[in-house]
């Protein structure tokens, strides 16, 4: 270990990964970062990381654990097993905390492949957004063997306010996150529909937002996401296309269990429609832009 500190590598220095990596630094862990964005790597190194760059293979052997905060299963597989994959460069037994939102089937397949290389995995999706990540206060919903939880305790203590240990079976963490994303996605879509109706009725959106956030119809997602609608700001911390992926996983899970998900299926169609209309890279609240016949605030025009 570097200077006898627990050494953690964080792959994916986006809105949540950067916060998690900074939280690891604050917790006194020897922190390494991997991202294709050189500016993110430079920022992390300036904040106190031991090293950060686009190729983690050169320091993979120094790590006591690896944390993946990338977008999907394909990125997880590329990071671990691709041409510049890190898995074969990790020391035997190194725990890999996979915190992307993936299907239970993908989680199990990744874990089996890691196990075949002598590596352990924690199926550990997270929630809380960029703000909670920066505070070291994410919620982790994880499954895996007790010994893997124990080996990752320094990382979990650094990045999480609450860690739910769901069980030993890989895939349970992924399932809980998918159910959570059902709610998150439906809340955003419902919030967008409500605000679109307010716009159509001529109700000032700021007033509507204020009423809802002080009344029973509020939700965390409404309060967080519809603020951007009121301000005309669709800068993405979570994009429409993220919810195309996540709500796709929700509907696939419903099909696999032969269980109807009428609200989730409608929300999924709304995100697909928004992506198809060209809003996929904008904030997920941009799903409201697919409603016709309304005028919305736009910060770019102000």
Q: What domains are defined for the chain?
A: 2-169 (3.40.50.720), 175-301 (1.10.1040.10)
**pLDDT tens, N- to C-terminus, the chain (302 residues):** 445 799 999 999 998 999 999 999 999 999 999 999 999 999 999 999 999 999 999 999 999 999 999 999 999 999 999 999 999 999 999 999 999 999 999 999 999 999 999 999 999 999 998 889 999 999 999 999 999 999 999 999 999 999 999 999 999 999 999 999 999 999 999 999 999 999 999 999 999 999 999 999 999 999 999 999 999 999 998 999 999 999 999 999 999 999 999 999 999 999 999 999 999 999 999 999 999 999 999 987 75
Identify the residue whose tokens are 């030993």: 168
CA distances from 208 to 184, 219, 224 (A): 20, 14, 14
User: Which residues are catalytically annotated?
Assistant: 177
What are the beta bridge partners of residue 96? Answer: 66, 121
Measured from the Cβ of residue 288, the count of other Cβ atoms closer than 10 Å reads 27
pLDDT digits (tens, 9 = 90+) for 250-297: 999 999 999 999 999 999 999 999 999 999 999 999 999 999 999 999
Identify the residue whose tokens are 């800068």: 235
Q: Phi, psi (5° rounding) for residue 91?
A: -70, 145
DSSP state at residue 211: H
CB 283 within 8 A of CB 221: no
CA atoms lying within 13 Å on the CB side of residue 286:
26
Per-position b or e across 152-182, b if 16+ CB within 10 A of its CB = bebbbebbbeebebbeebbbbbbbbbbebbb
CB 184 within 8 A of CB 221: yes
**In sequence order, which residues have a C-beta less than 8 Å from that of residue 112 and are 6 or more positions away?**
none
Residue 157 structure tokens: 């203590």
pTM for this one? Answer: 0.92
Residue 245 structure tokens: 């992926």
CA dist., res. 175 & res. 199, Å (int) = 36
- Per-residue pLDDT at 302: 58
CB 290 within 8 A of CB 273: yes
């Amino acid at each position: 270990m570097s200077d006898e500190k627990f050494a953690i590598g964080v792959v994916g220095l986006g809105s949540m990964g950067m916060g998690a990596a900074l939280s690891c630094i604050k917790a006194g862990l020897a922190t390494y970062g991997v991202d294709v964005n050189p500016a993110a790597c430079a920022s992390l190194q300036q904040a106190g990381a031991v090293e950060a760059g686009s190729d983690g293979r050169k320091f993979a052997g120094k790590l006591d654990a690896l944390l993946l905060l990338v977008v999907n299963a394909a990125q997880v597989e590329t990071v671990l097993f691709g041409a510049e994959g890190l898995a074969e460069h990790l020391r035997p037994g190194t725990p890999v905390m996979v915190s992307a939102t993936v299907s239970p089937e993908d989680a199990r397949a990744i874990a089996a492949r890691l196990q075949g290389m002598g590596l352990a995995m924690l199926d550990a999706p997270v929630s809380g957004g960029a703000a909670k990540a920066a505070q070291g206060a994410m919620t982790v919903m994880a499954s895996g063997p007790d010994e893997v939880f124990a080996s990752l305790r320094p990382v979990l203590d650094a990045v999480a306010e609450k860690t739910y240990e769901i069980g030993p079976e890989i895939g349970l963490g992924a399932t809980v996150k998918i159910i959570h994303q059902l709610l998150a996605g439906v809340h955003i879509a419902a919030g967008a529909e409500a605000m679109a109706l307010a716009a159509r009725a001529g109700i000032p959106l700021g007033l509507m937002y204020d009423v809802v956030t002080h009344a029973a119809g509020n939700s965390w997602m409404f309060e967080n996401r519809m603020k951007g609608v009121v301000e005309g700001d669709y800068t993405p911390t979570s994009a429409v296309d993220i919810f195309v992926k996540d709500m796709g996983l929700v509907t696939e899970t419903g099909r696999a269990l032969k269980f109807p998900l009428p609200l989730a299926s409608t929300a999924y169609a709304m995100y697909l429609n928004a992506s198809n209309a060209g809003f996929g890279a904008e904030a997920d609240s941009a799903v409201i832009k697919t409603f016709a016949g309304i005028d919305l605030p736009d910060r770019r025009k102000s």
